[in-house]
Structure 1
Amino acid sequence: MSLDADTEYVGFWARVSAALLDTILLLVVSALLLWVIYALSDWEQRAHAAYWVEFAIGYVLPVVAVMALWMLFASTPGKMGIDAVIVDARTGGKPSTLQFVIRYLGYFVSTIPLGLGLIWVGIDPRKQGWHDKLARTVVIRRKRTRP
């Protein structure tokens, strides 16, 4: 896949809706996991393991889930719902693992200054947030083939 004049870059509001769907899905999965784990443990074990369980589900699970989805599909369920995919900004091909890692870490850079790096998606001609620029990625809509 190459980027050309017909490439449709996914804009701010579509990406917000995709992120919202991803967040809701992750919250549901996390809540179910916590409910099952705490329902199966007794009170003594719960107090000792609570910190590690909550850390794993609250912080490790999202990183692993997002990275796995990006590496397998170059997308997340929210992005899949809007036919969007993350691609290398130069070639239009699938980004490397390093690009995905930089992109994930770039979310912190994009978010810390009052979300300005995320809002940048609405300003940039290629709809790139700062995390996209750091990782040299773009989010595009998949081209639909007509029968």
Structure 2
Amino acid sequence: MCDNPGGFWVRLGAAILDGILLFIVSALLNFALFQQFVSEPNNITHAIDLLYYLLLPVFWYGYTVGKRALGIRIARVDGRKVGIGTMLMRNFVAGIAYLLTLGIGVIVSAFMVGLREDKRSIHDFIAGTYVTYDKPE
């Protein structure tokens, strides 16, 4: 449980890499469909983000491209495989919690990842997950 946890900086780096990748994919898709680069998020951008953060970790053992590049992944505390329900809890339910706290929950989560020994944030507690350097079994 919570062995070899990934800390704040590596998680931030992975999030930045994921954001860059999603920006490029969304821009290219918008250009292909509308012959222009759309600077504001639209339904296509939201759909790509949804599929990426919800499904990719389920099918790729807890990895996103950014997490894989930096050698970390999402794992369940109970050792089971990350599933759709886990990712829904991690992304949507936690997102609602962060929204209801007007962003204060995001700040608290950042401190939790930076200061806690197990490096778990609010969305990790909600979903029963943690981020680890350990490879999937």
Question: 2:65 corresponds to which letter in structure 1?
Answer: P
**Inter-partner Cα distance in structure 2 for 1:122 and 1:130:** 12
Larger radius of gyration: 1
Q: Normalised by the size of structure 1, how large is the TM-score?
A: 0.76
- The answer for the alignment partner of 1:80 in structure 2 is 68
- The answer for the alignment partner of 1:19 in structure 2 is 15
Question: Is 1:124 equivalent to 2:116 in the alignment?
Answer: yes
**Measured at CA, do residues 25 and 96 of structure 1 come closer, stay the same or move farther in structure 2, by a change above 3 Å?**
same
Q: Deviations over 1:52-86 (max 9, x none)?
A: xx632221220112112111011100100121121
**Inter-partner Cα distance in structure 1 for 2:58 and 2:82:** 8
- The answer for the alignment partner of 2:104 in structure 1 is 113
The offset of 1:110, in angstroms, is 4.1
**Inter-partner Cα distance in structure 2 for 1:69 and 1:114:** 25
Question: 1:56 corresponds to which letter in structure 2?
Answer: N
Question: Is 1:34 equivalent to 2:30 in the alignment?
Answer: yes
User: Which residue among 43, 52, 55 is the counterpart of 1:56?
Assistant: 43
Query: Residue 97 of structure 2 contacts residue 105 of structure 2 at CA under 8 Å; is this kept in 1?
Result: no
**Inter-partner Cα distance in structure 2 for 1:121 and 1:14:** 11
- The answer for the alignment partner of 2:56 in structure 1 is 69
Give the secondary structure class of the aligned counterpart of 1:79: helix
Q: Normalised by the size of structure 2, how large is the TM-score?
A: 0.81
**Inter-partner Cα distance in structure 1 for 2:108 and 2:66:** 20
Q: Deviations over 1:30-56 (max 9, x none)?
A: 01111111129xxxxxxxxx9xxx632
**Inter-partner Cα distance in structure 1 for 2:4 and 2:64:** 18
Flag as ranges the 4+ runs of structure 1 deviating above 6 A.
none
Query: Residue 110 of structure 1 contacts residue 129 of structure 1 at CA under 8 Å; is this kept in 2?
Result: no
Query: Residue 10 of structure 1 contacts residue 141 of structure 1 at CA under 8 Å; is this kept in 2?
Result: yes
Query: Unpaired segments of 5 or more residues in structure 2?
Result: none
Give the secondary structure class of the aligned counterpart of 1:104: helix
Query: Residue 86 of structure 1 contacts residue 94 of structure 1 at CA under 8 Å; is this kept in 2?
Result: no
Q: Deviations over 1:95-128 (max 9, x none)?
A: 2321110001114534721622431211222111
